[in-house]
Structure 1
Amino acid sequence: MPAKPLSLAILAVLAAPAFAAGPADTVDANAYALDTVTVTATRTERRLAEVPTTVSVIDRERLDRELVRDLKDLVRYEPGVSVGSGTGRFGLRDLRIRGLGGNRVRIETDGIAVSDAFSIGSFADANRDFVDLDTLKRVEIVRGPASALYGSDALGGVVAFVTKDPADYLAPGKDAHLGLKFGYESDWRGLFAGATSAFGGERWSGLLVVGHRQGQETGNHGNRATRDATRTAPNPQSRDGRSLLAKVVHAPDQAQRWRLTIEGNEDATDTDVLSQLGFQPRTRATVGAMRGDDHQTRARVSLAWEHDALQWALADRAQVQLYRQDSETTQRTVEHQRSAAGVALRREREFNFDQRLHGLEAVLHRDFATGRLRHALTWGLDTNRARVRQKRDGRAVTLATGQVTNVVPPDVFPVRDFPVSEIDTVALFAQDEIELADGRLRLVPGVRVDRYALRPQRDPIFAADNPGIEPVDVTATSVSPKLGAVWRFGAHASLFASYARGFRAPPYNDVNLGLTNLQFGYASIPNPDLQPETSDGFELGLRYAGPALHASLAAFHNRYDDFIESGVLVSAPPASPVRVFQARNVARATIEGVEAKGALDAGALHEALRGWTLQGAMAWQRGEDERDGRPLGSVDPARASLGVAYEAGRWGVGLHGRFARRQRRMPELAPGMAQFVPPGHGVLDLLAHWAFAPGATLDVGVFNVADRKYWDWSDASGLDATSPVLDRYTRPGRSLALSLAFAW
């Protein structure tokens, strides 16, 4: 395995038990206000009321007030967006936007894409949970196809993480900042702590954020603590993580800035996998002990240049970024078993998945006028090279004799499930925001051209495991247009509409997947003829932004073509010696729905109600596989959130409800096998905050106040309705979270 990057070496030295800081400057305390600024939607700073698509902006203040610790917490009150969580050892799973998830949703940090997810078998699952949310000042979620600006992997939408800057803590007359933060969460007995320091002068400024977190397994409502597959209580875990964010900013003059960023994140989990113990019917072995040791890291270094007063013919502002990012997941499993023949064995497995990314991104802006039309042109270049490697290794040791073999059925180790691959992407994009009718109408056309090239390498490990299979190169070009419009027809009301084309290049692991298992009689073969997945997305909405009420209502219809389905059976005996599987373009799907969001400032209606606010959101969506009319299991049931809060300046309190409807119609998992459909539920959370001294704030939350037993669809979809371990997938009961922050 490669050595740890320099930033993680620095992290290991600096990560004492101290964590990210007190609240930074925020755009707006009202999470639903339409004058909140978004950058991700159009790659320019625009108010939410000015963009022709649905965007959620979650600022630092809201992250702190809602005690957000992970991705699932992040979307707790965001219907239409969901995050699944695992129940064994691998943590958070899929992030879905409007029913589409996995690598079809782009997740990025400061414009740099987070590593892909990849899983194969029971002992290998690399997820995309690589970001410490306490290093962020803002999260933006763009819903629906966004390939016209962000290319492949933005088929379902974009989740953009924006990290903190020195300027978030410094102001005129203040050239230094120090913040400390400590917290606890009872649902996983988690402790976290951290420190933030910032300094600044006339030309130079810097920021350092270090953090540490540790805890145990996340609780649920399962109470069967057996040591076999009937277990519903969580498997015992020990979790530990640390993070680093360091920035140095140099401003040669008022118009430009150079920014050097080093960021690292590291997580380790040790699991006693009790749910995998006991007699195994498939192999007739008896497992006496199994432990999982999972470790993942992400490190990046980037150099960015920004200029606000260029004198170029095609640009008056620019942002250019050069970066490198390394992400790695290593998962080790040690299993003690007695084989069907009565032989005592120790079986060791190791899974490694790492992705190295180099890239250059340039975004330029030019404001100009043609007659009575005002234009805001955004254009640029996005190019990167990703190198992806995956390997599974292992051995079996006969305890009585010490004999060692690399044959651990069904594998002969080491193996690669796809060859080492390099993926080059070059893209050009352009977008024009056109104002006409004295600013009442805004048109936003845009287009992006992507060139994708996959170059695999047939190394000895892949060749030995896949005799006769030659990996193939793939090149593809895709054009992704979009058109949006916003019409302001009153002092407070506006309509918006958009069309966007989305695409996703054929994934390297599906194109060249190779796996031969003679023991169980199957093989997977490459498919060089895979076509890109594509989508056409339409959205129509209405917004209102008055003195007391901010509200939006949107309907969307997304049609997806040529979905790539892995593991399609293409041949079977007697036509072939074994069953043969291959990735194919087979699926055509439609997902449509309605989303609404709003906030009422009661103090604007009457002075006696000052401080009271009411906030709510809802999402209803349905999805259908057009091949057979079956509903899509990835689409969440109707969900809503509703909260009432009182803000008294130094303190505030709020009661927030999360509600989900029962999924109405789901296909059978197999003929005669019904899918588990969780009942609808309503969960109440109580949140409070208190600034009890200058620079000192306490945030407290009691989640699931009524201790309800419930399932999230994103956790439980795809389960057999007759499974005896359904309680294993329940969410935690009543839990307490608190955070104490100091700032000087």
Structure 2
Amino acid sequence: MPLPLKPLPLAVLAALAASAHAAPAPAPATDAHDLDTVTVTATRTERTLAEVPNTVSVIEREQLDRQLVRDLKDLVRYEPGVSVGSGTGRFGLKDIRVRGLGGNRVRIETDGIAVSDSFAIGSFSDANRNFVDLDTLKRVEIVRGPASALYGSDALGGVVAFVTKDPADDLAPGRDAHFDVKLGYESDWQGLFAGATLALGGERWSGLLALGHRQGTETRNQGTRAVDGALRTTPNPQERNGRSLLAKLVFEPDTDQRWRLTVEGNEDETDTDVRHLLGFQPRTRATTLSLIGDDHQTRARISLAHEHDALGSVLADRMQWQVYRQDSETTQATVEHQRNAAGVALRREREFDFDQRVLGMEAVLHKDFATGTAQHALTWGLELTRTEVRQKRDGRAITLATGQVTRVVPPDVFPVRDFPPSEITNAALFVQDEVALADGRLRLVPGLRVDRYALRPQPDPIFAEDNPGIVPADITETSVAPKFGAVWTFAEDWSVFGNYARGFRSPPYNDVNLGFTNLQHGYATIPNPDLKPETSDGFELGLRHAGPALHASLAVFHNRYDDFIESGVLVSAPPASPIRVFQSRNVAEATIEGLEFKAGFDFGAWREALRGLRLQGAAAWQRGEDARSGRPLASVDPARAALGLSYDAQAWGIGLHGRFARRQRRMPDLTPGVAQFTPPGHAVFDLLAHWDFAPGATLDLGVFNLTDRKYWDWADVGGLTAADPALDRYTRPGRSLALSVAFAW
């Protein structure tokens, strides 16, 4: 019997909402693009960036603090090739795109546990994946390109891995206690945040408690028309607040073992006065008088993990395993007052709920051995997950003059489920061998993963009544994802790398069994039990230099994607069928290729007199198109670059950073004869500074968009027409200030 999908309690967060997580005391400044930085996500083993056969970005806690990163869009501010869209109406941040691919095709995980899916349908239902408080993290790793050989179905486009803090990260050697607080402000959304972290440690036991709170209003843009209706260009009024909790208890029975119990929760609430949708609606001939949105999302997880560094077994030298449960829920309520075409005053209420629970376990084992002159680092493991997902839309219309209530709110007859409650089980085995040859100058990294995916819908009366005669389909798929990488150090400080990776994505529950029948409007959507997995073949070739002063990496990539699933394809229409029939189909084939460059130059390693001066830069160019029609892909960003010059002294530092984007040259022809909006290229400059003004006290300050440039991000405007009268609604904020002050004891 399926468990009821209700999140773990977060009431404790509300009681502690006045506190928040704080960053640790600042560490010495480092080059953000140093190839000696260690990554774990790329190969599931600790390797420097110079040793892995693909492109990976690692963003450490210090960099998050110095750049005043508060959300996902801030996180990739200086990461060309990765972008995050943002909504302008009500629902906030959109998906993360890695090399032009986004949505649920990019795996987002926290401590190895995948974040909930996104799901949207219609104008009043949009569950996103913004479930993580970035202040609780010690590191973020972004793996670009297909990574299904290690991470399975979610990683068709890449991996964004969040790693939360441990007690040891805050406890200095010889100290058994740490406490810090952090306060901050951001002017672009009048945002206030506060936090506190307590870490305690002993010989065998240690613990950490981090609490966070944030609140603010709508994010500013550079629109100037504060009118009601479609011509509005200023943001809708909003009130936002959220809170987070991270608690860890660590037990080390000896120097080779660690047990870790983690409880984590995040909660966000947003109230929106949706004023850009007010006024006369030409399609329905009704007049909307007011529209209020109340959106709430929570994520809670509990996990138990164990690490053993000295197994002494013929099968493994080291291992890590964990078991976990995670609950995520998005609820969105909309209250609309309108006068319909007949002049009748109505109150229309809509409610949307999307729940996802996952129970899982994973084990990763490592074995080092030699065969002749070859040194092997074998990594193998398994993953088991069971996911329960439910979605429902409900609503009613109330005639204010009579009090009459109806569940018919065109085009819906509530309640409805757009897909039946579903259970998804996934079992996977993976293996990878890192082979070092020629005294380590040549590294070969073959790998393979086998996934068994099973979808079991569990239709209930709501789905059955809304979809008479439709039987939801079961899906069982087995997918095999190989990979092969190589790194050759051909000269001191110089290496080349190459990588092939197969990616896949199992047919998702909402596409397999998306069902909806509306006889009043003459259409229906039906399930498709014959959907095939989406697949990809990714190729990457690169050159690296890792010298004492210069660190640089240049990579070219080509990814081919097959059998993309497109929702809502028209498959039948009158007179062939009584009504229009829509269905999800494997229809799309696409290619995305490009070039990425990253570099950092430490002037101090070149000339002692210039110690503390650094130059950092990155650039990305991408090109994507539908392989069948040749039409450009709207999800692919135009060429972007970032360049920063910084100076770090003993107790302070300052840097000027530029963000650059070229005009989108290849536009998708979304509607024949209708010109699409092409945002102009832009150059935006930010000034960042920090000051350790007392022992354990640090001030971080940022002035963003110094020149008050009016600009648009392509990730925010793809699909808009050039004739849209409200284009300024999609502009990014003008000049803004952000600061935080942290105290540590």
Given the two structures, how large is their TM-score scaled by the length of structure 2?
0.99
**1:649 and 2:650 equivalent?**
yes
1:13 match: 15
Amino acid at match of 2:111: D
Report Cα offsets for 1:403-454 as digits up to 9, x if no partner.
Answer: 1111111111100000000000000000000001111000000000000000
2:245 match: 244
1:668 partner SS: coil
1:214 match: 215
1:732 partner SS: coil
1:311 match: 312
Percent of pairs identical after alignment? 78
Deviation at 1:608, TM superposition (A): 2.4
Distance 1:162 1:374 in 2: 29
**5+ unaligned residues in a row in structure 2: which ranges?**
none
1:55 match: 56
Q: Is the 8 A contact 2:6 2:327 kept in 1?
A: no
Amino acid at match of 1:509: N
Deviation at 1:596, TM superposition (A): 0.2
Q: Is the 8 A contact 2:620 2:639 kept in 1?
A: yes
**1:83 and 2:98 equivalent?**
no
Distance 2:692 2:468 in 1: 66
Mapping 1:271-310, distance limit 5 Å:
271-310=272-311
Q: Is the 8 A contact 2:8 2:327 kept in 1?
A: no
Deviation at 1:25, TM superposition (A): 6.4
Distance 2:580 2:9 in 1: 46
Report Cα offsets for 1:495-553 as digits up to 9, x if no partner.
Answer: 00010000000010000000112233221111000000000000000000111100000
Deviation at 1:649, TM superposition (A): 1.6
1:631 partner SS: coil
Distance 2:127 2:316 in 1: 41
Q: Is the 8 A contact 2:215 2:242 kept in 1?
A: yes
Given the two structures, how large is their TM-score scaled by the length of structure 1?
0.99
Between Structure 1 and Structure 2, how many residues are aligned?
743
Deviation at 1:9, TM superposition (A): 2.4
Distance 2:622 2:521 in 1: 40
Q: Is the 8 A contact 1:233 1:728 kept in 2?
A: yes
Q: Is the 8 A contact 2:6 2:355 kept in 1?
A: no
Q: Is the 8 A contact 2:20 2:244 kept in 1?
A: no
Q: Is the 8 A contact 1:84 1:715 kept in 2?
A: yes
Deviation at 1:604, TM superposition (A): 1.7
Residues 375 and 628 (structure 1), Cα distance of their counterparts in 2 relative to 1, 3 Å cut: same
Distance 1:707 1:649 in 2: 31
Q: Is the 8 A contact 1:25 1:169 kept in 2?
A: no
Mapping 1:85-100, distance limit 5 Å:
85-100=86-101
Deviation at 1:665, TM superposition (A): 1.4
Distance 1:652 1:568 in 2: 55
Distance 2:8 2:340 in 1: 44
Amino acid at match of 2:334: T
1:325 match: 326
Q: Is the 8 A contact 1:24 1:60 kept in 2?
A: no
1:65 match: 66
Mapping 1:295-374, distance limit 5 Å:
295-374=296-375
Distance 1:515 1:574 in 2: 20
Q: Is the 8 A contact 2:25 2:743 kept in 1?
A: no
2:188 match: 187
Residues 649 and 58 (structure 1), Cα distance of their counterparts in 2 relative to 1, 3 Å cut: same
**1:114 and 2:115 equivalent?**
yes
Residues 702 and 2 (structure 1), Cα distance of their counterparts in 2 relative to 1, 3 Å cut: farther
Distance 1:18 1:62 in 2: 19
Deviation at 1:2, TM superposition (A): 6.5
Distance 2:721 2:640 in 1: 23
1:506 partner SS: coil
**1:730 and 2:731 equivalent?**
yes
Q: Is the 8 A contact 1:685 1:703 kept in 2?
A: yes
Distance 1:2 1:702 in 2: 47
Q: Is the 8 A contact 2:631 2:669 kept in 1?
A: no
Q: Is the 8 A contact 1:378 1:430 kept in 2?
A: yes
2:128 match: 127
Distance 2:430 2:165 in 1: 27
Amino acid at match of 2:626: D
Distance 1:178 1:492 in 2: 41
Amino acid at match of 1:738: L
Q: Is the 8 A contact 2:24 2:170 kept in 1?
A: no
Distance 2:407 2:392 in 1: 14
2:188 partner SS: coil
Q: Is the 8 A contact 2:538 2:557 kept in 1?
A: yes
Deviation at 1:19, TM superposition (A): 3.2
Amino acid at match of 2:15: V
Mapping 1:441-456, distance limit 5 Å:
441-456=442-457
1:224 match: 225
2:468 match: 467
2:366 partner SS: strand
Amino acid at match of 2:22: A
Distance 2:7 2:173 in 1: 36
Residues 620 and 558 (structure 1), Cα distance of their counterparts in 2 relative to 1, 3 Å cut: same
Deviation at 1:614, TM superposition (A): 0.4
Q: Is the 8 A contact 1:294 1:329 kept in 2?
A: yes
Distance 1:741 1:106 in 2: 32
2:524 partner SS: strand
Mapping 1:351-430, distance limit 5 Å:
351-430=352-431
**1:710 and 2:701 equivalent?**
no
1:578 match: 579
Distance 1:134 1:488 in 2: 37
Distance 2:617 2:164 in 1: 27
2:588 match: 587
Distance 1:110 1:276 in 2: 40
Amino acid at match of 1:70: D
Deviation at 1:336, TM superposition (A): 0.3
1:195 partner SS: strand
Deviation at 1:611, TM superposition (A): 1.3
Q: Is the 8 A contact 1:7 1:300 kept in 2?
A: no
Amino acid at match of 2:118: A
Deviation at 1:346, TM superposition (A): 0.3
**5+ unaligned residues in a row in structure 1: which ranges?**
none
Mapping 1:658-677, distance limit 5 Å:
658-677=659-678
Amino acid at match of 2:10: L
Distance 1:231 1:504 in 2: 40
Distance 1:161 1:18 in 2: 18
1:489 partner SS: strand
Deviation at 1:215, TM superposition (A): 0.1
Distance 1:103 1:5 in 2: 21
Deviation at 1:254, TM superposition (A): 0.7
1:604 match: 605
Deviation at 1:573, TM superposition (A): 1.1
2:168 match: 167
Deviation at 1:462, TM superposition (A): 0.2
Amino acid at match of 1:411: D
Distance 1:524 1:420 in 2: 17
Amino acid at match of 1:227: D
Amino acid at match of 1:90: F
2:90 partner SS: coil
Distance 1:387 1:200 in 2: 37
RMSD (Å) for aligned C-alpha atoms:
1.1
Distance 2:669 2:282 in 1: 24
1:148 partner SS: helix
Report Cα offsets for 1:125-148 as digits up to 9, x if no partner.
Answer: 000000000000000000000000
1:536 match: 537
Q: Is the 8 A contact 1:138 1:161 kept in 2?
A: yes
Deviation at 1:4, TM superposition (A): 6.0
Distance 2:25 2:81 in 1: 27
Q: Is the 8 A contact 1:669 1:720 kept in 2?
A: no
Q: Is the 8 A contact 1:16 1:212 kept in 2?
A: yes
